[in-house]
Structure 1
Amino acid sequence: MTETLTAAAHWHDRPTYCASRNVLAALLGLAALAMPIHRACAQAETAKTITTPNYTATGFPISGEGQVPIGPLVPSLYGNPHLFGDWGGAQTWLTDHGIFVNLALNEEFMGNVTGGRTRADVLAGQIAGEVDIDWQKLAGIPGFWTHMLVINGHGNNFSHTLGDYVANPEQIYGARGNVVAHLVDLYADKTFFHDRLIVSAGWIPTGTFFDFDALGCSFMNVAVCGNFAPGKYMPGGRDWPSGNLGGVVRYRPTERTYIMAGAFGVTQAGYNGGISGWSWGQKMSGVSTQVELGWSPSFGHDDLLGHYKIGTYYDNSTYPNLYEDINGNSFLLTGRPQRHESGMWSSWFMFNQMLVRNGKGLADGLIVIGGLGYAQGNVTAMRDHEWIGLLESGTPWGRPLDQVGIEFQHIDMSHSVRLQQEASLALGTPYLSNQWGTVYGVQKWEQVYEAFYSVHLMRATALQFDFQYLQHPGATTTFRDAAVLGGQFTTNF
């Protein structure tokens, strides 16, 4: 079975994909392209129509029920719309030789009109460059790909201005450690057994494979883009721009199901790979092992596609208890050393499902997206996170490359971190920071309401308008509820 897609539908297996209209939503994971590139793709102009294989949620192309995958295994970036077209023929020559190059720009502006720690507006942005190589085309090595992504960040951190590091309203915040070129990933894929098995190894942000739904990046709030909090803020489950040395094995027992497992070295430093991401020799504290199961059904004559995944990871590193000392009492009150716990876990369930189809594109319709995630609260400041949202393309009102969405998030902080902060309050000492940054009060819960409209401007270029209302910014009552207005400009060169 094949689907008629636009050129924007071609992606590699990690995979980045066009988050709206033209490709199968929520594939296996975020590609090295990062958010701005897939956003530019999502809004990209339909430059030409081609026939390409239908891809399941695992990124495997399928040729029909009961048949083996058809190539290429890793959907290439060929045909991904570019603002400057074919680069004077260079893109065609490169892709003909198995080399796929992309450059993307993402600029975000955001300010709070009321509430928060301070009233301010912030500009932040990112330039991302990626090179993917199909070594079968380049050198005759079948089923072998390599991927590399480097980014440059610039601007300021709106979360600091707002006083909310828990549900960060922006996707792009700051300079990635103030380095000119930050390495996000560098790894290889090799396929086996008629492309039913993929083995990937190298420098990999774990969240590019696990607990990921790129439709979440249609929204500007980063707590669900593209893998969820709390998992992505833990050393064993970090998403880009921070990576881990490790490997992933993916197997597709049927055409609409997959099982995936991975193992990654864990570094508890603030920046994996050092401040610029290129230092892989950091001391490892343990190993994070992750497992995920996925199902991507299609319902009815309208081909209402869905993607469902459930997974967990366990990091065998040792972490300090957020509240207890070695005797089980408050370490702040007794002054005794903190108890250390062996291991940390996080689990998730995520889904997206098309409810109504209004066009031929694989994501052209009304789609519901949601999920929930849990983490081990005695060592993790965030205990659970739930979200639900709706996305729709502009097809019903004659703007097929526009997109609109609404979303609700609820976040609970852990009982242990709340006890720790209550002890700080009783002692009159400063609150301790945690995995979510600076703390401004006793943290309990936070809720986020978001709505956006993304306007297609020209080929591979979009402008998004965003509104968010945050109850209990930073999961505290220290600051008034915040109303935030933002905008995002994306283009793929």
Structure 2
Amino acid sequence: MALLAATQMPSIARAQSETARTLDTDQYTAIGFPIAGQGAVPIGPLVPSLYGNPHLFGDWGGAQSWMQKRGIFLNIALNEEYMGNVTGGRTRDNVLAGQVAAELDIDWQKLAGFQGFWTHLLVVNGHGRNFSSTLGDYVSNPEQIYGSRGNVVAHLVSMYADKTFLNDRVILSAGVIPTGTFFDFDALACNFMNVSVCGNFAPGKYAPGGRDWPSANIGAVLRVRPTERTYIMGGLFAVSPHAFNGGVSGWALAQDGLGKLSSQFETGWDPAFGKDKLLGHYKIGFYYDNSRYPNLYEDRYGGSYQASGLAARKESGMWSSWFMFDQMLVRSGKGIADGLIVIGGVGYAQGNVVAMRDHEWIGLLQSGSPWHRPLDEVGIMFQHMNMSRSIRLQQQSSVALGLPFVSNQWGNVYGVQNWEQVYEAFYSLHVLPATSLQFDFQYLQHPGATTTFKDAAILGGQLTTNF
């Protein structure tokens, strides 16, 4: 079954990106916290939020200043996307999809004197449909936003609290948390429309123990900064056996079957090289889910479960691992993301129970400072995705037996899946305060990781704003 809830947080990440391109590196404390009220996108693993970001409607007639002085940060972000394939794919189609996200962050030290304590609430409402369903490609997901988010007015994405210790060097977070908002996360990747790398990467985010935005797991995360530029963090999350964590609305927190756990670990280094403070972020991580999952191909004797008619063999545990980085190569302004930045990574998953085995990506981002448009951005990226040997054996068995293909974590299957590659280029034009209009082109080689459909050329665009 397709995990239709699994997408990311583009409008929020883009609002952060605008702040990142204008904030000076000196505005950050040693452990990665932004100075109060001066923005988001910390240099370390802290969860980005919208507090302190610019707003289309400014100070809301003084309401924003009044709330922020009391530690209340309320933000509403809009994302509208249009996308269509010029050629290739299963069918020719174009879609319009969008989302409204509302976030409430409260600094309880300011509000009530409770030192080092924050709470976070994020809900979304969406409209539109999945472009991938008519394109015939659920593997790369060219769009970031799709679906009605459970057909509810306010789909719960996250609801958790932070408590800091030892002068903010230790942070404990607990509640309803999208795991990829903490682990294998890179907000810069959400400047690209293809969701496979937005925020956190596939394959990990499509597996039950690592599902991400707008799906969340009940759990806790402990983050520690042993030095100014390094961090270590670990998390423990309840794993939902259902297609949607928290139900289709996100609010059904007491789902049955939550007895298994996913444990995640990540360590990172956030250097700043030379006199120009060329910022970088390097992280490596791993998660293990101790649930039992069916083998994608084998029965208990090691043969095809489709041919034998026996149940698929159950495997103990599921794992995923990653290495991710971004590094500024040339600085063109004082902002922490104002320059030429290389971004990339590699992710692996346990191929006998996860349909995608590995995923590699590399890209370049450049702010518009060299052509006197510092809040504009341009980027290119290449992605390569390999499906697992087990899923190919299953699909070859389906062909030999004349059976329909079995859907997997990536949705419907239209042929024997091998690999897919994505080439993407975009230009994001800053048109109003906290508002950008982006133009995007993607070329998908082997849509759906098969040769069933012709390679697809896709044109897209999106409007993002933070009210």
Instruction: Normalising by structure 2, report the TM-score.
Output: 0.93
Call closer, same or farther: CA 1:331–1:33 in 2, change over 3 Å: closer
Tell whether the 8 Å contact from 1:112 to 1:121 is kept in structure 2 after alignment.
yes
Question: Is 1:270 aligned to residue 243 of structure 2?
Answer: yes
1:227 to 170, 176, 200: 200
Q: What are the residue-to-residue correspondences of 1:196-275 with 2, within 5 Å?
A: 196-275=169-248
- What is the deviation of 1:175? 1.2
1:184 to 157, 173, 184: 157
What corresponds to 1:35 in structure 2? 10
Deviations along 1:152-172, whole A, 9 cap, x unmatched? 010111010111000000000
Distance 1:50 1:119 in 2: 45
Deviations along 1:64-85, whole A, 9 cap, x unmatched? xxxxx9xxx9887553111111
1:457 to 431, 436, 441: 431
2:117 to 123, 139, 144: 144
Q: What are the residue-to-residue correspondences of 1:458-477 with 2, within 5 Å?
A: 458-477=432-451
1:403 to 377, 383, 406: 377
Unaligned runs of 5+ in 1: 1-31, 63-68
Distance 1:91 1:213 in 2: 28
- What is the deviation of 1:180? 2.0
Task: For residue 224 of structure 1, give the secondary structure of its aligned residue in structure 2.
Answer: coil
- The alignment-based identity, stated in percent, is 72
What corresponds to 2:38 in structure 1? none
Q: What are the residue-to-residue correspondences of 1:113-124 with 2, within 5 Å?
A: 113-124=86-97
Q: What are the residue-to-residue correspondences of 1:283-432 with 2, within 5 Å?
A: 283-432=257-406
Distance 1:464 1:446 in 2: 24
Tell whether the 8 Å contact from 2:24 to 2:334 is kept in structure 1 after alignment.
no
Tell whether the 8 Å contact from 1:44 to 1:458 is kept in structure 2 after alignment.
no
Tell whether the 8 Å contact from 2:78 to 2:466 is kept in structure 1 after alignment.
yes
Distance 1:302 1:421 in 2: 52
What corresponds to 2:133 in structure 1? 160
Tell whether the 8 Å contact from 2:18 to 2:434 is kept in structure 1 after alignment.
yes
Q: Which region of structure 1 is more displaced relative to structure 2, 188-197 or 176-185? A: 176-185
Distance 1:127 1:293 in 2: 33
Distance 1:183 1:345 in 2: 26
Tell whether the 8 Å contact from 1:40 to 1:460 is kept in structure 2 after alignment.
yes
Distance 2:171 2:112 in 1: 19
- What is the deviation of 1:42? 2.9
Task: For residue 470 of structure 1, give the secondary structure of its aligned residue in structure 2.
Answer: strand
Distance 2:195 2:49 in 1: 26
What corresponds to 2:419 in structure 1? 445
Q: Which region of structure 1 is more displaced relative to structure 2, 168-177 or 479-488? A: 168-177
Distance 2:115 2:8 in 1: 23
Call closer, same or farther: CA 1:490–1:349 in 2, change over 3 Å: same
- What is the deviation of 1:176? 1.8
Q: Which region of structure 1 is more displaced relative to structure 2, 175-184 or 150-159? A: 175-184
What corresponds to 1:11 in structure 2? none
What corresponds to 1:9 in structure 2? none
Deviations along 1:230-267, whole A, 9 cap, x unmatched? 00001000111000000000000000000000000000
Deviations along 1:308-342, whole A, 9 cap, x unmatched? 00000000000000000011110001101110000
Distance 1:330 1:491 in 2: 50
Distance 1:172 1:76 in 2: 19
Tell whether the 8 Å contact from 2:424 to 2:440 is kept in structure 1 after alignment.
yes
Question: Is 1:85 aligned to residue 39 of structure 2?
Answer: no
Distance 1:477 1:218 in 2: 29
Call closer, same or farther: CA 1:55–1:210 in 2, change over 3 Å: farther
Tell whether the 8 Å contact from 1:230 to 1:373 is kept in structure 2 after alignment.
yes
Q: Which region of structure 1 is more displaced relative to structure 2, 198-207 or 176-185? A: 176-185
Tell whether the 8 Å contact from 2:17 to 2:188 is kept in structure 1 after alignment.
no
Distance 1:43 1:204 in 2: 24
Q: Which amino acid is the alignment partner of residue 226 of structure 2? A: P
Distance 1:115 1:87 in 2: 46
Tell whether the 8 Å contact from 2:13 to 2:188 is kept in structure 1 after alignment.
no
Tell whether the 8 Å contact from 2:23 to 2:334 is kept in structure 1 after alignment.
no
Distance 1:262 1:462 in 2: 34
Unaligned runs of 5+ in 2: 1-6, 36-41
Q: Which amino acid is the alignment partner of residue 93 of structure 2? A: A
Tell whether the 8 Å contact from 1:41 to 1:492 is kept in structure 2 after alignment.
no
Call closer, same or farther: CA 1:316–1:368 in 2, change over 3 Å: same
Q: Which amino acid is the alignment partner of residue 155 of structure 1? A: G
What corresponds to 1:5 in structure 2? none
Q: Aligned residues, how many?
A: 451
Call closer, same or farther: CA 1:96–1:167 in 2, change over 3 Å: same
Distance 1:218 1:76 in 2: 16
Distance 1:145 1:181 in 2: 22
1:53 to 18, 22, 27: 27
Call closer, same or farther: CA 1:270–1:55 in 2, change over 3 Å: farther
- What is the deviation of 1:33? 10
What corresponds to 1:125 in structure 2? 98
Deviations along 1:162-201, whole A, 9 cap, x unmatched? 1100000000011122222100000000011111100000
Q: Which amino acid is the alignment partner of residue 113 of structure 1? A: V
Tell whether the 8 Å contact from 2:381 to 2:423 is kept in structure 1 after alignment.
yes
Q: Which amino acid is the alignment partner of residue 35 of structure 1? A: P
Q: Which amino acid is the alignment partner of residue 314 of structure 1? A: Y
Distance 1:33 1:461 in 2: 19
Tell whether the 8 Å contact from 1:454 to 1:462 is kept in structure 2 after alignment.
yes
What corresponds to 1:281 in structure 2? 254
Q: Which amino acid is the alignment partner of residue 329 of structure 1? A: G
- What is the deviation of 1:50? 8.6
Deviations along 1:318-377, whole A, 9 cap, x unmatched? 000000001111000110111000000000000000001111111111000000000000
Distance 2:218 2:466 in 1: 29
Tell whether the 8 Å contact from 2:24 to 2:335 is kept in structure 1 after alignment.
no
Task: For residue 28 of structure 2, give the secondary structure of its aligned residue in structure 1.
Answer: strand
Tell whether the 8 Å contact from 1:244 to 1:265 is kept in structure 2 after alignment.
yes
